[in-house]
Structure formats: structure tokens, C-alpha cells
Structure 1
Amino acid sequence: MKILVVSHSSVIEYHQQKLEILAKDYGHEITLVTPPWWMEGGVRAEAFTGGSIKYRIGKTFVFKKRAFHFYFDAGRIIKEENPDIVHVEEEPFTFACFQFLSAAKKRGKKTVFFTWENIRRRHNPGYEFFNNYCIKNTDAAIAGNNEGRDILVEKGCRAPVYVIPQYGINMKDFILRGGDAPKRDYKIGYVGRILPEKGIVVLIDALSGIPDARLVMAGTGASGYTALVREAAEKKLAGRHEFTGFVEREKMGRLLASLDILVLPSLTTKTWKEQFGRVIAEAFASGVPVIGSGSGEIPNVIGDAGLVFKEGSSADLAGKIMHLMADGELYKSCAEKGTKRVLEHYTNEGIAAKLDFVYRALLKR
């Protein structure tokens, strides 16, 4: 089966792993279309083209600050590649998604797009036009979370909608933590962006009343807000904290394995809620129990493999942390269930298998 995949975020080699698996294990002919570069984590990333799949670097114009782009040659790429399916990993409200879906439909190709959008909102008139067209004219859609699926249905999508994360993890990148829960000096970790909506201050408040807990925070953010977070930690945790800053992907497995509990305390805003929480799956792969807030997709990602606290409540979070610290059986159960859950749902191999199912179902319609 010939699959044309359009994905700006797949300029990074790490994000191409599921495509390599689809080609090697399922026999699909994969052609990946990307811009020549993209801004990832504030850094310009040049498109990686050294894998075993086929690459087409599109002629694009990228607006750096708006993270917006379009292709000059979408129709020509589809005509020349002549795929069975066009898989567009771009939000349906983007011009890039509209370009490839409309061009594919003109040539009678099956189409599927991907969305993370889990906030109900109206876009500006241009984006709303693209959104309506793509949602109502695609042959299938993939949402990265459950609410994203519901929103697509509410907006008139009559095609099948599958819930599949955009990217999985490679288990080889992580170190499975062994042993029972420590009796004291717990290392409670936060890994992610340093932003107000990530709820880090809620975690600091929760830990202020737990003398046997130490905060380990990894990530970067705006210098002003990061300074405020540091100040809050210094004031409330009395030296029981450490900030590692940015952690390279190659070192993430070792960092996570050093933690006793990972906390994702995200806060919902008018324009954002947690869309997935990839670090939860990474903690699962490391055998680290997870506690998350009720924001967005977090409870669904955790499932029965961790604890969920009331969003914004430092008291509830503190109670959940102390419960996990005090109950050795619960701690061990969460660690084991997390490892099982990541293997069942969040590896690149698992996601490739689900995509193969989507592709085969598409051609049968």
C-alpha cells in the first residue's frame, strides 16, 4: 500500500520511527512530505532524510513565529507519488491540511488527517473554512485524545474517527526502575515546560507540607516565569529541590529512572488543556508511578495505572503523594500497571499497528 504522509513535526528523526515500522513490518511504501525545516522547542530543526522511507521536501513558506506554513506543490506531489492514501498530520483548520486533502479528493485518493485539538472554540473565518472542509470531506480522522474525537463528531465529521496518539515512545530509550518504594526522601519529579498552565506552583505548594519529599524539576520556559517558580521553591521547600534545566532526549531515561514519583499537575485554561501528557508514558516505561491532575486527557492516559487529583488542589495532590508514599503495595501496583499500559498503548510499535488497521479499513470503504 502506498501511503503519502504529510507532517511538519516529522522533520525530526525521532518522530519518524512509527513510519519506519510501517514500512519494515507492514510492507507499506511510505513517502514522507515535510517542510525543509521547522521550529522544535524554539530551535530550528532541519528535515532529517536519512531513514529507509522515501522523502519529499516540499516547497513551502514557513511563518516562524506563527508556526504556520503552506506548500506550493501539494497537488504536484500527490500526482507524482500517486498514493493509495494521503495521511495529513496537520490540524484540520490549517491551510496545509486543506491543500493536501482537497488535492487528494480531486484525484480520488483516500484521506485521513490528525488533530490534537481538545478545546471547543471558533477560529477566524479563514481557519474555520479550512476546518469545516477537512472535517466534512475526509474519509477518516485520527484524534490524539478522546475529547478531540468528540469535537470532530460535534462539528459534523461523519467519517470514522480513531483515537491514537501521534507519536509513541521507544522502550529502548528508557531504564526500567526496579525496587520497592523508598521509606523516606522521595524524589518527586516534574518534567516539561515551565509555564503557568503546567501547574508547577500547585506541586510546590503540595510538597511544602511533606518533609520527606524532594522536588526534581526538568524543563525550560520563559526566564521571568522560571525565576518566579525558583523563588517559590526556595521559599517553600527550604532546599528540598533541584532544577536540572533542559534535558536532552538521550538523557531523559536516566533522569526518569532516578525519580520515585512523577507528577503532571496541569491546569486547564480557556485556550488550553493537556492534550496527552507524553511524559506519563515515558514514566510508565521507566517503572515510575504517576500522579496527574484532571486536566484534559491526563486521566485517560493514566487509566488504572496511577492516581488522579483534583485539578488545582494542592491539598488533594499532597494527599495522593502521601498515600502513594505510605502504601507499598499500591506503589508497586502502579509501577507494574504503568509498564503494562505503555506496552499496550503507547509504543511506536503499537501505534504503527493501529495505523495499519486504519489504512486497511480505509481501502475497504
Structure 2
Amino acid sequence: MSNSSLLKPKLRVLFVSHTYVVGVNQGKLEAIANTKEVELALLAPNNWKALEWNRFLNLETPCPQIRIYSAPVLFTGRVGAHLYAPWKIWQVINDFQPDLIQVEEEIFSLCALEVAVLAKLYQKPMVIFGWENQQRSLLLPRQWIRNYVMGATNLYLAGNQDGATVISNWGYKGKIEVMPQMGVDTDLFAPKIVNNNQNQLNIGFLGRLVPEKGIDILFTAVSQLRQQGLNCRITICGSGSSETDLRQMAAQRKIADVVTWKGAVRHEEAPQEIGQFDVLVLPSRTVDTWKEQFGHVIIEAMAMGIPVVGSDCGEIPNVIANRNLIFPEEDATALAVILKRAIADLDWRQEMGKYGIERVQKYYSHERIAQRLIDLWQKIISNSN
């Protein structure tokens, strides 16, 4: 290594996001810090409320390499409406002196607006990450915020292909890259030796039990398979408003005896549960206010060598990227055809498992996403000088 490379100063990047209140979500940040190419800081709320669970979350700090700044936010728990005291962001920028600021909040959010104002004032390049993937009309104040933030943004990271289209249609003229907010921990979600049972297919689902997740479609497909004399089971990991209806549906379709309900699963328990599946199915459907933005459980299962079958809702087909594993939304019969092949063709099932491992290693590990970000940041800094 040359003396010049040893003396090269590290790139200083400030992240601003409520997502990283939860320590397990900081894997990407840790992977960035571990490269030794970047000095990293994070500003996150110390009073974030998870509205879905109706409880406050403590800001976790599992990564000593990351400099943590914390402060309360107004309107905690409201992703688009929460904001810091402006002088707190000013203090953080003055103290850390970042070369670049990355805000992982929607581009029309109040938090993105207040960071954008200060980024312009301090002439700091700014990157925005957003999940928004529906072409919806915004109220006039939100439109103004969006337009102002777009004007301060050097790079927009879209969590999905639809999001890239949305931001372009909104008039953003800068550089757009498509990547998920977080990758997958390939040490935690590691391939396991699977004793495939050709006599019975264990089909897994992990997620919220709500209508848009399409679990009823999976029940219909399994009912069809049983009518053909094929042996399979379903393991449901999750909780939600539809559980009672789904239990009744399983009884109506005469499959209640092959459905196991595990309830909500903590993230650290997910590898153990996923490891029991022969395939994971994500049968999501588009509704007026939602379509699948990514489906993080897809890359977790793929990393473990578990084949993933998904509908063509939102980003699912782009993440899986294998037409043999994709079926049209609402089409239970098409899903049943894929599952029948998984039962009948063990070699194909194993091939699809290996395919998933290779795809995650190439695109979706924390380390791969970390390096992509560093490369993008360096280009921004070079263009800014």
C-alpha cells in the first residue's frame, strides 16, 4: 500500500433516518464502516414510536464504529411528518463535518425538507432514499416539499423499479439508482443442510397477516394440490388483522389440518423458522393504497437456499428475477402449478435454492450494497469538486 493511499482521508457520511433506531437494521451501516473507507455518523430519533405495535423503541447502538447522534422528534412514528428541532441537525453537521449527507426518508417528508435546507446552506451533497412506488397525487404543501428536496438532491436511491419511475414522473432530473434500503446478513441467514422430504412439501409464509399479502391465494392453491392427492403443509409465521378470517378460510377449504400458525416471529428467530421451509411463498396483491415495495423476507430466504415463489406484485418479480418462480397476482392455479413442480422435481427445487444464494451474494448482501453506495458517493464527491 502506498503512502498516498495511507494518508488519503476517509469519506465522512452522515445518515439521517428513523429506520436505524433498531440495531438489527444497522447491518448495512456496519458493513460500510468495516470497509475502513468511510467514517460514518447516524442521526436517529431517541423517542421513536412504532405505531403498529403502539410502543416506543429505544435507540440501539450495537456498532461502535458508527458515531451516534440522537434527538427527540415531533410527531414521532409518523414517517412523513416527523421532524427534528432544526438547530439539532445544524449542531450535528457542525460537529461531524460530513462530506455528504444521506437521508433515508421519503422525498416529500418534513425531515427530508429540513435536512435539504441545511444541505443547501452548507453546500453539502445530499442523497435521498425512498420506497414510494405509487403514482399518487400529493397535497400542495407536500408537492412543494418534494420539489424543494428534489432540487437539493444529488442522487436518488429508489427502493424499487416502480419508485424510479415515480420519481422521474415527478420531474426529478438527477441520477437515480435502484437498490433496497438494507441488504441481508449472510452470516445470520446462512445456507443450511436441508433434508428435503419428497413425500411432503413444507410451504412457508412469513409476514403480516393482512389482505394485501394474499395468504388466501396460497390457501386456494394448496387446496387444489390436495385435491390432486399431493402432500403439502403450510407454516404461517406472522400476526395481523386477517388471522381470524384466514383460519376460517382454511377450514372452509378443508386444509386446516395442514396449516401451522406460529404467530409473530422476532427477527433473530427468523432464520430458524425459514430454515424449516422447503419453499417460501409471497403471494402479495396490489390494492388501491399499496403494492409490494420489496419483500425483504425474499432475500433472507434466498440467502439460506430456500426457493422463493412470488406473485408479480410490485417489486417481487424484480427481486426474484426468475420467471419460473413468478405467478400472476390472484392466480392460485398458476401458483399451484409451480408448487406442484417443487413437489415432483427435487433436483429443480435444489437448483432454485442455489440460484437464490448466488443472487443474494451478487446483489443483496450488506457488503455488496455497502460497496455500491461507497462507489456512488465517491462519484458524487468527485463531481462536486
**Shorter-normalised TM range:** over 0.9
Unaligned runs of 5+ in 2: 1-10
Within the candidate set 277, 284, 299, 2:295 is matched to: 277
Partner of 1:248: 266
Query: Residues 40-94 of structure 1: CA distance to partner in whole angstroms, max 9, x if unpaired?
Result: 4524211113422101113421344677310102233223322110100110010
One-letter amino acid of the structure 1 residue matched with residue 15 of structure 2: V
Partner of 1:44: 56
Partner of 1:230: 247
Partner of 1:15: 25
Distance 1:330 1:263, change over 3 A: same
How far, CA to CA, are the matches of 1:28 and 1:65 in structure 2? 30
Taking only aligned residues, the RMSD between alpha carbons, in angstroms, comes to 1.7
1:349 and 2:349 aligned: no
Partner of 1:364: 382
Q: Offset at 1:233?
A: 1.4
> Partner of 1:259: helix, strand, or coil?
coil
How far, CA to CA, are the matches of 2:256 and 2:347 in structure 1? 30
Query: Residues 106-133 of structure 1: CA distance to partner in whole angstroms, max 9, x if unpaired?
Result: 1110100101111001122222211122
How far, CA to CA, are the matches of 1:193 and 1:104 in structure 2? 37
How far, CA to CA, are the matches of 1:273 and 1:176 in structure 2? 29
Distance 1:229 1:37, change over 3 A: same
Partner of 1:318: 336
After superposing the two structures, state which structure 1 stretch, 77-86 or 158-167, moved more: 77-86
Q: Offset at 1:305?
A: 8.2
One-letter amino acid of the structure 2 residue matched with residue 293 of structure 1: S
Corresponding residue pairs, total: 363
How far, CA to CA, are the matches of 1:26 and 1:317 in structure 2? 45
How far, CA to CA, are the matches of 1:112 and 1:261 in structure 2? 37
Partner of 2:350: 332
Q: Offset at 1:137?
A: 2.6
How far, CA to CA, are the matches of 2:173 and 2:37 in structure 1? 29
Conserved? CA contact 2:49–2:76, under 8 Å: no
Query: Residues 232-282 of structure 1: CA distance to partner in whole angstroms, max 9, x if unpaired?
Result: 113320401100001122221111111111100000012111000111101
Conserved? CA contact 1:193–1:220, under 8 Å: yes
> Partner of 1:169: helix, strand, or coil?
coil
TM-score (norm 2): 0.90
Partner of 2:240: 221
How far, CA to CA, are the matches of 2:34 and 2:122 in structure 1? 28
How far, CA to CA, are the matches of 2:56 and 2:205 in structure 1? 26
After superposing the two structures, state which structure 1 stretch, 294-303 or 142-151, moved more: 142-151
How far, CA to CA, are the matches of 1:135 and 1:220 in structure 2? 37
How far, CA to CA, are the matches of 1:104 and 1:351 in structure 2? 24
Partner of 1:150: 165
How far, CA to CA, are the matches of 1:208 and 1:282 in structure 2? 27
How far, CA to CA, are the matches of 1:206 and 1:180 in structure 2? 24
Within the candidate set 57, 71, 75, 1:58 is matched to: 71
Q: Offset at 1:159?
A: 1.4
How far, CA to CA, are the matches of 1:350 and 1:305 in structure 2? 24
1:1-365 matches, cutoff 5 A: 1-40=11-50, 42=53, 43-52=55-64, 53-64=66-77, 68-72=81-85, 73-179=88-194, 181-211=196-226, 212-222=231-241, 225-236=242-253, 237-304=255-322, 307-365=325-383
Partner of 2:4: none
After superposing the two structures, state which structure 1 stretch, 187-196 or 72-81, moved more: 72-81
TM-score (norm 1): 0.95
How far, CA to CA, are the matches of 1:306 and 1:68 in structure 2? 41
Distance 1:65 1:150, change over 3 A: closer
Q: Offset at 1:9?
A: 0.9
How far, CA to CA, are the matches of 1:125 and 1:274 in structure 2? 26
Unaligned runs of 5+ in 1: none
Conserved? CA contact 1:294–1:310, under 8 Å: yes
How far, CA to CA, are the matches of 1:191 and 1:39 in structure 2? 23
Conserved? CA contact 1:86–1:104, under 8 Å: yes
Distance 1:75 1:311, change over 3 A: same
Distance 1:278 1:64, change over 3 A: closer
How far, CA to CA, are the matches of 1:342 and 1:66 in structure 2? 28
After superposing the two structures, state which structure 1 stretch, 283-292 or 322-331, moved more: 322-331
One-letter amino acid of the structure 1 residue matched with residue 60 of structure 2: F
